[in-house]
Amino acid sequence: MIAGETEYIIHGGEDNYDYFLKNLFKKDPNKQAKPKRTAEEKAARKEQRQQWWGKQKEGFQKAGGVEGITSTLGNIVGFFKDDTPSDYDISMGSGQPAPQPEKKGISKEVMIIGGIAVLVIAAYGFSVMQKNKKVQIQSA
């Protein structure tokens, strides 16, 4: 596609342009249209749908209706639930979080302040170096 676009731009002609996007969504000329259903076919399909939904309704009633389906789903979900008693406790401590040990080394705040200081010093040194170059160029 990109090659075709480039070729079109370079040569400026319509005769060798590939029309990639136009041909991409073009309908197939050999594809036959589906024949429309007759009234008898429509009635037959409607009857089949009604029979199918009737069978689904009968199956639903045999399963116990809404109550039966909800109890079945409750049983299935019961396999995945954790049935631990409410008075069961795994904790070995007194309920307070354990104190975290103090970290040794340089704190995060000192690292941030030190990094900013290094950047400021580097920027100042760079600006002084640029001024020295300008002074040398002007004096020469």
CA 112/CA 106 separation, integer angstroms: 10
Is pLDDT above 60 for 15? no
- What is residue 140's predicted lDDT score, i.e. its pLDDT? 57
Tell me if the pTM is above 0.85: no
pLDDT band at 24 (very low <50, low <70, confident <90, very high): confident
**Each residue's pLDDT tens digit, 37-94:** 999 999 999 999 999 999 988 888 887 787 887 887 788 877 776 666 666 666 666 6
- What is residue 31's predicted lDDT score, i.e. its pLDDT? 82
Half-sphere exposure of 13 (CA within 13 A, CB side): 3
Half-sphere exposure of 50 (CA within 13 A, CB side): 6
In Å, how far are 37, 43, 59 from 48, measured between CA atoms?
15, 9, 17
**Each residue's pLDDT tens digit, 94-119:** 666 667 777 777 788 889 999 999 99
- What is residue 47's predicted lDDT score, i.e. its pLDDT? 95
- What is residue 16's predicted lDDT score, i.e. its pLDDT? 53
Q: CA-based diameter of the chain, in Å?
A: 104
Q: Higher confidence at residue 97 or residue 29? A: 29
